[in-house]
Amino acid sequence: MADETPEVTPIVWRDGKLLLLDQRKLPGKETYLMCRGAKETARAIKSMVVRGAPAIGVTAAYGLAVEARKFRRGSIHSDFEAAAATLADARPTAVNLIWAIERMRGLMGNVAEGSDPREVAAAFADEAQRIHAQDIEINRRLGSYGAELLNGGDVITHCNAGALATAGYGTALGVIRASWDGGRRFGVYATETRPYLQGARLTSWELTKLGIPVTLVTDGMVGHLFANRAVEAVVVGTDRTAANGDVANKIGTYQIAVLARRHGVAFYVAAPTSSIDLDCATGADIPIEERDPTEVTHISGKRVAAEYVSVFNPAFDVTPNDLVSGIITEHGVVVGDYKKGLAEKVATGRRARS
């Protein structure tokens, strides 16, 4: 493939070191932060150095790989469990975090307490690199399935589900770029995504780098946008999709889905199978992270809200499955019977990995 190297590289594993592109500083500065263990990695996830569900999962796998070098012969299993618990606690909504930890836990079945920790660390590094490479491949496959749904009209996306939110290429932005690379010419409306501004800071940066025309709108402009401009589809990512197709994604997604239905516009969700949680029967089972009130009261460290005002700051919302036109996975698109279709795609994903 000509564009083998992703234009944006959020996670780097070099000479056994984990480097994360510090997304808090984008688009102004491109700097990498090194994580030397599980605690530092969890801190990086919590503080949004790295964000986006698949990227969080890949990072957690590497966090375990760097921590594994500190495992002690004789207490390897308890050392692993302590590191896994630290990472699992970092953020609650994106199921990819737990998914990746479970994949790493799969290696522990073959590890005896008396094993050489260096061998365990090497196996962990190999597995984390596999998860990393597979994520990029998954996004490309998902992108090509999704591109078949688009016919060259303008698209709305929310938050950032691009290369930055994954190991590379992106899920929702993967669909958009696959369509663009397939020769269709269209524009993308990126929502600002208050309060963390992933759309303004990250999505508009990524799309500009890719040469895909992007127009930034604030979240409150979406209704007016639907009413006054021709939009073919909405394409968003997901942090966790329940077994019935209810979709947890960045706060503000639900209202866009409602507006899309009102205006007869398709609403697609790009969901790698690592983001589908069959243990959550419906969206009501998905834990929704609430973040620090200062994200709402302040912009770039400067208070913009009145003092002492109370704040509600959920980072995600749930879009009910009846508002979803299709869920795009790396094994094809599910439409209609989400319960059956998603279970089939997850099973296919498991078979493909084994």
Which sequence positions are flagged as catalytic?
239
DSSP symbol at 28: T
Residue 247 CB, nearest approach to ligand MRU (Å)? 10
CA distance to 4, 16, 61, 163, 283, per residue, from 42 (Å): 29, 18, 11, 20, 25
With CB under 6 A as the contact rule, which of the stretches 26-34, 49-57, 58-66, 100-108 interacts with ligand MRU?
A: 49-57
Burial of 122 (0-12, 13-18, 19+ CB in 10 A): middle
The phi-psi region of residue 140 (left if phi > 0; otherwise alpha if psi is between -120 and 50; otherwise beta) is alpha
Residue 270 CB, nearest approach to ligand MRU (Å)? 7
Q: If binding is defined by CB under 6 A, does position 165 make contact with ligand MRU?
A: yes
Q: Is residue 296 helix, strand or coil?
A: helix
Answer for which of 315, 334, 342, 346 binds ligand MRU (CB under 6 A) is 315
Pairing of strands 326-329, 266-270: parallel
- Is the Cβ of residue 143 or residue 237 nearer to ligand MRU in the bound state? 237
Number of residues that bind ligand MRU (CB under 6 A): 17
62-121 residues in contact with ligand MRU (CB under 6 A) are 94
Q: If binding is defined by CB under 6 A, does position 157 make contact with ligand MRU?
A: no
Sheet containing strand 276-277, edge to edge, reads 276-277, 240-242, 247-250, 316-319
With CB under 6 A as the contact rule, which of the stretches 51-59, 60-68, 118-126, 338-346 interacts with ligand MRU?
A: 51-59
- Is the Cβ of residue 198 or residue 319 nearer to ligand MRU in the bound state? 198
Site string for ligand MRU, 248-267 (x = CB under 6 A): -xx-----------------
- Is the Cβ of residue 238 or residue 273 nearer to ligand MRU in the bound state? 238
Q: If binding is defined by CB under 6 A, does position 238 make contact with ligand MRU?
A: yes
Residue 102 CB, nearest approach to ligand MRU (Å)? 18
With CB under 6 A as the contact rule, which of the stretches 6-14, 31-39, 161-169, 340-348 interacts with ligand MRU?
A: 161-169
Separation between Cα atoms, residue 47 and residue 5, nearest integer Å: 27
Answer for which of 51, 103, 132, 177 binds ligand MRU (CB under 6 A) is 51
Separation between Cα atoms, residue 145 and residue 140, nearest integer Å: 9
Separation between Cα atoms, residue 219 and residue 252, nearest integer Å: 7
Question: Can you give the length of the chain in residues?
Answer: 354
Q: If binding is defined by CB under 6 A, does position 26 make contact with ligand MRU?
A: no
Separation between Cα atoms, residue 247 and residue 277, nearest integer Å: 10
- Is the Cβ of residue 146 or residue 237 nearer to ligand MRU in the bound state? 237
Separation between Cα atoms, residue 127 and residue 225, nearest integer Å: 44
Q: If binding is defined by CB under 6 A, does position 329 make contact with ligand MRU?
A: no
Q: If binding is defined by CB under 6 A, does position 195 make contact with ligand MRU?
A: no
Q: Is residue 111 helix, strand or coil?
A: coil
Query: Which residue ranges make up the site for ligand MRU (CB under 6 A)?
Result: 51-54, 94, 159, 161, 165-166, 171, 198, 237-239, 249-250, 315
